[in-house]
Amino acid sequence: MEKRKVKIPSINCIHCVHTIESELKALPGVVSVHADLASKEVEVEWDKQQNWSNIVALLMGMNYPPQE
């Protein structure tokens, strides 16, 4: 298992939180996702079926680019 927490400045409302969580959870291999509106951070945990590049690509495609 791998886990990473990133800042996503474009999280502006609870809808953003729900969108990010539901879309990332739909990726095969993603075990858990927690997006926080107050801190504008997202923590993702995934197994060997997935990789960070795919997770970032999905976030970018949804217009939620992570800051690393």
Q: So what's the pLDDT on residue 54?
A: 96
Contact yes or no for 29/46 (Cβ under 8 A):
yes
pLDDT of residue 3: 97
Do the domain assignments include residue 68?
A: no
Domain around 19: 2-61
Read off the pTM.
0.91
Residue 44 lies in a domain: yes
Distance CA 56, CA 66 (A): 7
Q: Is residue 22 part of a domain?
A: yes
Number of domains in the chain: 1
Note the pLDDT of residue 4: 96
Cα→Cα distances 8→1, 22, 34, 52, Å: 22, 16, 12, 15
**pLDDT score of 35:** 97
The answer to whether residue 68 scores a pLDDT higher than 80 is: no
* CATH assignment at residue 9: 3.30.70.100
pLDDT tens-place string over residues 11-66? 999 999 999 999 999 999 999 999 999 999 999 999 999 999 999 999 999 999 99
